Amino acid sequence: MNTLKTKSLSAKLSVLFLAAAMLINLTGLTAYTSAAEAPDLLHKAYVTSFNTGVVDVVNLENNTVEKGKIKVGTYPNSAGFSPTGTQIYVTNRGSSNVSVIDPATDTVISTIPVGADPHGVAFNASGSKAYVANRSSGTISVIDTAALSVTNTITVSKTPTVLVVVGNKLFIASSDDNSVTVVDLAEEKMVSSIAVPNNPYGLSVNPAGTKLYTANKGGNSVTIINVSDYSIETTITVGSSPHATESSPDGSRVYVANASSNNMSVIDTATNTVIKTIPVGGNPYVVGASADGKHAYTINYTGSSMSVIDTDTLTVTATIPLSNGPFMVGTFMVSTAAAANPAVPQVAAPAASPAAGAVPSGTEVTLTTATEAASIYYTTDGSDPTSGSQLYTGPVAITQALTLKAIAVKADMKDSEILSQDYTLTAPENSIIEPDTAVFDKRTGAQADIAVNMTLKGNTLTNIQNAGTPLAEGTDYTVSGTTVTLSAAYLAKQPVGTLQLTFIFSAGAPQALTVAVSDTTQIPGAPVLQSAVPGNGQVQLTWAPVEGSAAYKIYQSVSSATYGEELATVSSSVYTYTASGLTNGTAYYYAVQAVNSAGDSPVSNQASATPITVPGAPLAASAAAGDKTAVISFTTPADNGGSPVTGYEISSAEGDIKVSAASSPVVITGLQNGTTYTFTVKAINAAGTGAAATTNAITPAPAVITAPAPTATPAPAATGTAVLVNGQLQTIGQSTVTQSGGQKVTTLTLDESKLQEQLNAAGNGAVITLPFTEPSDVFVGELNGQMVNSLEQKQGVIKIQTPQAGYTLPADLLRISSLSQQLGQTSALQQITLQIQIAAPAAAQLQIINSVATSGSFTLAAAPLEFTITASSGGKTIDVNTFNTYVERSIKLPSGTDASRITTALVIEPDGSVRHVPTKVITEDGGQVARINSLTNSTYAVVYHPVAFADVAGHWSQSVVNDLASRMVLNGTEDGAFHPGQNMTRAEFAATLVRALGLRLESGTSSFTDVHSSAWYSQAVQTAVSHNLIQGFEDQTFRPLEQITREQAMTIIAKALAYSPAVQADGSQTAALSSFKDAGQVSAWAAAGVSEALKSGIVSGRNESTLAPKANVTRAEVAALIHRFLEKSGLI
């Protein structure tokens, strides 16, 4: 027999006492109102006096005793404690009954007859049943502890003595049967028997409920039984005639009462060995342990005493005298078995909110219980609920007078007490709405929700009706607390006039809301038709949205300003329309009207467009063969697609040939004699390239020529040649004509002494023009280093003028002193020969040029020319290719050329790469001349390269974007569009400016850590750095993909002015930086550049008062900025 730890058992008994306190005192038991009133059974022992028929009550805290306090039956020998703490059962062996003691009063409240010779007593976990071992009858009496009567008798093995309950099993020590019998408490029948030798008389269980300990009085031993499988783990030898065992509260020890050897054995459960044998009083028949584990106790029969043992020192510290002959079996105090069989708690009773009383109809009663995860069952007809009644899942609505009863139920717990609540109904009050009148304007922009506040008076809103039709909650209206919000979208659908909405409540009278519905919508303003973009048989319209519009009408006509019925109507959220089924080449006129409930707007501005598509195939295509040449002839297509044909593309799969031409016929050169060619011809218009026409097959062959008799070639003769000095003819040169590489070369050499005389006479700034009037393939102007030096000293200008071209070169740009050092002629400048040359490209270069023109989709407007300068001395020659400022070249255009078709001049490098150079077509001596400005010598070609982006049609930037795109300064994006409103990055701006200035791309190691050589913009950024146009940030980055700001762009333009000294500040059209109200936002580093850019007139503010320096710059704005720079510089 053992006890629990104080903390654990106290908590359990407190619960049990509270549960017991709720019982109605039908059996004479004292009802406790709190745990504090319950008796402290953990510190009390009830010891029966076998000889005198009384019970001594021992106070274990102070070791005092009240002898003979309770009179019971004959030969009492056991005292069992109910788990509820409200009953103590004393078995009376001589009178074959049980005395029931109330521990609150220590009085016998009932005597229950049982079987013969009752010994041990035990209780189930809830304390609802008690079990008494009738030793002589071989039975177990089952007692209902509430009714205090025997409800069943279970037959078991013979001589049952001591009982222990573990879970739903009852274990019985049967000494004469040498066994432990097992009874199933649910079925109340014997289910098993465990053989234990040597008369098992005493029995106890460890706190965990896993091991049983039998005291075998005939074998002087203790047997350990495994509760899970009823197996015997071991048997331990102890003292003589052991009669009882008990586990310590922590399960680490087992105490054994040895009746014949008058001592107590202490077993260590870890090793299952006896660690101490303690002498006690005479004939100890039972043993117990305190709740805190600090003491053990033996009841000594012949010594009529209780021995108190200190469990730390394992010595007897006190002996308490008892009444005569305290012979006992089983228990005399709270045992360790209570830990293995905790009392079943009761579910907390439900609570109702609101509580019983008069409530409005429809009131919802909420039921709750303090026990987590418990289920609630209820009735409303006054009957007591059970777990088969209605399950509570939500509030119970009270719509009539009723009695609501409820219980709470949870598995492994007692059902709660029954809650009973009586409800009656109060008379309903009318709800109130405020306001009860409202106004609503259907005009877009004036529409607003209407909020209505409700004073519910205990009612709930059921719905809102319009002429008997319920409104949709969540769509037509919403409810938040006591506020109803009527949707403006719903109200806008109602006709102008009086709208009455009825609010229906759960009780009380309906309430009415009167809404005065009006419409102050004005006729919308006229739309702005922004663009009409033609396509193949269609035109796409775009217009700006108009506030207050409900729809748009689109009108179409083939006559300006004359419209009939609308072509189509679209919703107010649509701002584009595509008119289809149109005739290509026919001009169509369009207008748009905005429409709403008030009427139609004035008609928009008119826009027109002519649908076009690619042209049809050219007609009568044919080919004629020559010596390595073919002549392709054709006539214009029957259908030009609605747009004039602007050129033709001739190609052949043989030899991968593709050339462009303006008209028929076209001569194709560079063919292979003996190879058969077939050519295709396609016409081109503004819409693109059309269908192909195929020529006949031809095979070029060499011409048959009869060789003439050879004649001697005389040496070239030099002739005196006139040179223009400031426009006056002076014979100061000699002209010679030679042949080189199949080309005619005309060279004009100046006389040094005669030139010096003319320079002395002309003074500073003389212009020396070397005119060539006769046809030639190559024109060379020749001077020596001294002449150039003299011209440089006089700020003179050298000009080469041929029938096809001109080359104007300030002498100081030749840097003769630097050339002298490079040639090793620092003192003898006369030994340096300088040649300035304008020549038709060689055949190989011409083939490259034709190939580039074909692949680059541009057309040559004039024969290309090569401009070169060389300096020679002592067998060494160097090329003079670059200059630090623009050098002017000019190329005459063929007579009859349409100057409006010329887009730009290109530099064609030896590797076939091309770049734009600033070009302007002017009228000179009655003809058209392309004036070209460039920093480098190379081959130049004037080309026609029209570009028109569809997405800038009608845009304010259309003309400048398409002009710069045709000049190859601006590019589109991957989708073929320009996207004028898209912001431009720093890399894109640098590349655009480099192309606009015609700078040759440079490569090398980048000075910026974030510009990698593999990036598409790497060379452009490096070139801009080399020409001092851009700079990076302090962290050595350029941040190429960041969007460029206005102040950054202005600063770069200011640097570019170094290449355009022609730009002059125009005070009448420019504004000083200080005149802008946001001038303070300009960064300190940018202030000088921004100011200079403003003075140039190339840039301006966003408006008269705002500069917006931190704003980004769109692609359209960059196009306008670059175009204005080139125009004001006189470069285009």
For residue 715, is pLDDT > 50? no
Structure tokens at 66: 């009240």
Query: Contact, 198 vs 213, CB < 8 A?
Result: no
For residue 282, pLDDT beyond 60: yes
Burial of 9 from C-beta contacts in 10 A (0-12 / 13-18 / 19+):
buried
pLDDT tens readout for residues 616-657: 999 999 998 877 888 788 988 999 898 888 788 999 988 789
DSSP H or E stretch at residue 12: helix 6-21
Q: What is the pLDDT of residue 113?
A: 98
> Residues 884-913: what's their mean pLDDT?
84
Adjacent-strand bridge partners of 215: 202, 222
> Which domains does the chain show, CATH number per domain?
6-340 (2.130.10.10), 351-426 (2.60.40.10), 432-518 (2.60.40.10), 529-609 (2.60.40.10), 619-680 (no CATH), 721-944 (no CATH), 955-1128 (no CATH)
Give the number of C-alpha atoms closer than 13 A to the C-alpha of residue 263, restricted to the C-beta side: 14
pLDDT score for 1015: 86
Q: Which residue has the higher pLDDT, 598 or 383?
A: 383
Q: Of residues 1068 and 222, which shows the higher confidence score?
A: 222
More confident residue, 812 or 1: 812
Is the pLDDT confidence value at 924 over 60? yes
- State what percent of residues in the chain have pLDDT above 90: 65
Residue 17 has pLDDT above 80, yes or no: no
Residue 1067 has pLDDT above 60, yes or no: no
In this prediction, residue 930 has a pLDDT band, given cuts at 50, 70 and 90, of very high
Task: Give ∠ CA 16-22-23 in degrees, rounded to 5.
Answer: 95
CB 943 within 8 A of CB 903: yes
pLDDT band at residue 826 using 50, 70 and 90 as cut-offs: low
Residue 1061: per-residue pLDDT = 66
- Other beta carbons within 10 angstroms of residue 1013's beta carbon come to 11
Q: Is the pLDDT of residue 158 over 60?
A: yes
Expressed in percent and rounded to 5, the helix, strand and coil fractions of the chain are 15, 40, 45
CB burial readout 705-719, b (16+ within 10 A) else e: eeeeeeeeeeeeeee
Residue whose tokens read 């300035």: 836
Return the pLDDT at 444: 81
Q: What string of H, E and C letters represents the secondary structure of 920-950?
A: EEEEECCEEEEEEEEEECCEEEEEECCCCCH
Binned at pLDDT 50, 70 and 90, residue 2 comes out as very low
Mean pLDDT, the chain, whole residue set: 88
The predicted model gives 316-327 an average pLDDT of 94
Asked whether residue 5 carries a pLDDT value surpassing 50, the answer given is: no
State mean pLDDT over 418-423.
Answer: 96
| Residue 44 pLDDT greater than 50, yes or no | yes
pLDDT at residue 436, rounded to an integer: 96
| Sequence-distant (≥ 6) Cβ neighbours of residue 976 within 8 angstroms | none
pLDDT value, residue 344: 64
Which positions ≥6 away from 388 have C-beta within 8 Å? 377
Can the peptide bond before residue 665 be classed as cis, meaning omega within 30 degrees of 0? yes
Mean pLDDT of 18-43: 43
Q: What is the mean pLDDT of residues 555-564?
A: 91
pLDDT, tens digit, 9 for 90 and up, residues 58-110 = 999 999 999 999 999 999 999 999 988 899 999 999 999 999 999 999 999 99
pLDDT tops 60 at residue 13? no
pLDDT of residue 259 exceeding 90, the answer is yes
Better-predicted residue by pLDDT, 975 or 965: 965
> What per-residue confidence (pLDDT) applies to 825?
65
pLDDT at 1096: 86
Tell me the mean pLDDT in the region 1065-1077: 66
Confidence of residue 955 (pLDDT cuts 50, 70, 90): very high
- Whether the pLDDT of residue 57 is over 60: the answer is yes
The one-letter amino acid at 492:
A
Query: 272: closest CA among 315, 208, 221, 219?
Result: 221
Write the DSSP string, 483-532.
EEEE-HHHHTTSPSEEEEEEEEESSS--EEEEEEEE--PPPPPPP-EEEE
Q: How does pLDDT run across 978-1013, given as a tens digit for each residue?
A: 999 999 999 999 999 999 999 999 888 888 999 988
User: Residue 338: pLDDT above 70?
Assistant: no
Residue with the larger pLDDT of the pair 205 and 713: 205
CA–CA distance, 733 with 768 (Å, rounded to integer): 11
Residue 791 · residue 785 · CB < 8 Å: no
What mean pLDDT is predicted for residues 857-884?
Answer: 90
